[in-house]
């Protein structure tokens, strides 16, 4: 009898602990870790949660009869993925010379977006993002823009772009 009560007490204490840890996580959820990259004249932030890796641009095999922003397919660590020209997809101004590939994990499989240079990883606060800027064409798949004009990408929205599908 007393054993059961002791066990119950321990379990309750653990449950309380777990619940606190969760609350702390929720507070941190306002901050998002992003990898900042340049693309033409813009700077884009990829939430690292969705990012598998950023690799030097691999050899790309062109696909016939596909839109201009689909550069082709490439192999990254044994997986075949499409390479999307982010500058062209988001109609970014200024010359873009892709040197890296940001590999994003979509539910269906990986997909790569070209970027010029990788700047840094940093934390951005969602509360401080300016959502107004989302109306601009080059920000169409954005959560918002930071004060220093980093466009934080909304990856699920980007992945849902009908332009990504070739059929």
Partner 1 sequence: MTVLDPEMAAVVRQETAEALDALLGLADAYGAGTMTAAEFVKSAFRIFHNTKGALRLGGFEKAEHAAHGVEDRLDALRKGNLEPSEEIVDLMEETLGACLRAVESGGSHPALDRVLTALASGTPVPSSPSPAATDDDSDEAPAAAPNSEVKSEDAARGLEASSGAIRIDATRLDRLMELGSEHLARQNRARERQVILSALAERLGVVLKRDAHARQLMSQLHSDLRSFVQGEEQEVRRSGQLTADFDRAMRAVRMQSLSLVAPHLRRTLSEAARDSEKKVGLKLDLGEIEIDRHVLDALREPLMHLLRNSVDHGIEAPAERIRLGKPERGEVTVSATLVGANVVLCIKDDGRGIDEARVLSKARETGLGGREGDELDLDTVLFSPGFSTAQRVTHLSGRGVGLDVVRDAVSKLGGHVQLEPPKQGQGASFVLSVPASVVSMRGLSVRAGSGTFVLPSTHVERTLRVPSSELGSAEGVTIIRMERGEPLRLRWLSTLLGDLRGEDPATLKIVVVTEGSTRLGLVVDEVIGDTTFVIKALPWNVRRLRGVIGVTQQGNSELSLVPDMSQLLRQGSSQADGHRLKLPEARPRLRILIADDSLTSRTLEKNILAGAGFEVETVEDGAAAFAALQEKQFDLLVSDVQMPEMDGIELTKRVRATPVLARLPVILVTSLDQPEDVQEGARAGADEYIVKGQFDQKALLEAVSRLL
Find how far residue 126's CA is from the centre of its chain.
Answer: 14
CA distance 53 to 102: 6
Least Å from the CB of residue 103 to partner 1: 12
Nearer to partner 1, 103 or 145 (CB): 103
User: What string marks each residue from 75 to 104 as x (binds partner 1 by CB under 8 A) or -?
Assistant: x--x-xxx----------------------
Q: How many CB atoms lie within 10 A of CB 125?
A: 11
Using CB under 8 A as the binding rule, whether residue 106 contacts partner 1 is answered as yes
Q: Which of 93, 109, 131, 156 binds partner 1 (CB under 8 A)?
A: 109
Q: What is the DSSP letter of 61?
A: B
Could you say which residues in the range 28-67 bind partner 1, by CB under 8 A?
A: 58-59, 61-66
Element containing residue 8 per DSSP (H, E):
helix 2-28
């Amino acid at each position: 009898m007393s054993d059961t009560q002791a066990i119950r007490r321990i379990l309750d204490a653990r449950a309380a602990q777990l619940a606190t840890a969760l609350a702390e996580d929720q507070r941190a959820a306002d901050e998002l870790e992003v990898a900042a990259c340049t693309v033409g004249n813009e700077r884009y932030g990829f939430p690292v949660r969705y990012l598998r890796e950023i690799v030097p641009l691999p050899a790309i095999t062109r696909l016939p009869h596909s839109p201009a922003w689909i550069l082709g397919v490439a192999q990254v660590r044994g997986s075949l993925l499409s390479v999307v020209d982010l500058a062209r997809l988001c109609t970014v101004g200024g010359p873009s010379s892709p040197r890296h590939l940001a590999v994003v994990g979509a539910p269906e499989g990986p997909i790569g977006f070209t970027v010029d240079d990788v700047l840094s990883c940093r934390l951005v606060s969602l509360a401080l993002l300016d959502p107004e800027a989302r109306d601009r064409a080059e920000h169409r798949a954005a959560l918002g823009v930071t004060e220093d004009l980093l466009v934080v990408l909304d990856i699920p929205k980007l992945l849902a772009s009908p332009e990504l599908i070739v059929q």
